[in-house]
Amino acid sequence: NAGVTQTPKFQVLKTGQSMTLQCAQDMNHNSMYWYRQDPGMGLRLIYYSASEGTTDKGEVPNGYNVSRLNKREFSLRLESAAPSQTSVYFCASILADRKTQPQHFGDGTRLSIL
């Protein structure tokens, strides 16, 4: 009964370091999403993937890359971390053929860039 699993839960990086945030879902969902959550700004979409092999930019894609490795996994990469990328990152997934189905969220990755 895992749902959406994100790793790691916490990470501290130095400016310029690279890092990949992992996300996996076991619900056979088609669409997957990466959001960042910042105080007073809600959730902003970074990238999403409507199906295996496809990815699209969201609202704030700069400084990030993504890979939809297979139907289960959607990773987010920071090639050269910057302090402005300090945030809480959430992965979500949805079956996508019924709009009343909720997006299922992971518990988040808390990332600090020093």
Residues interacting with other proteins, by CB under 8 A?
4, 31, 33, 35, 40-45, 48, 50, 58, 90, 92, 94, 96, 99-100, 102-103, 105-108
Minimum distance from residue 34 beta carbon to other proteins (Å): 12
Q: Which is nearer to other proteins, 14 or 97 (CB)?
A: 97
Measured in residues, the chain has a length of 114
CB 50 within 8 A of CB 66: no
* Residue 85, token pair as written in the block: 């990328």
Minimum distance from residue 45 beta carbon to other proteins (Å): 7
DSSP state string for 67-99: EE-SSSBEEEEESS--GGG-EEEEEEEE--S-T
Q: Which is nearer to other proteins, 69 or 96 (CB)?
A: 96
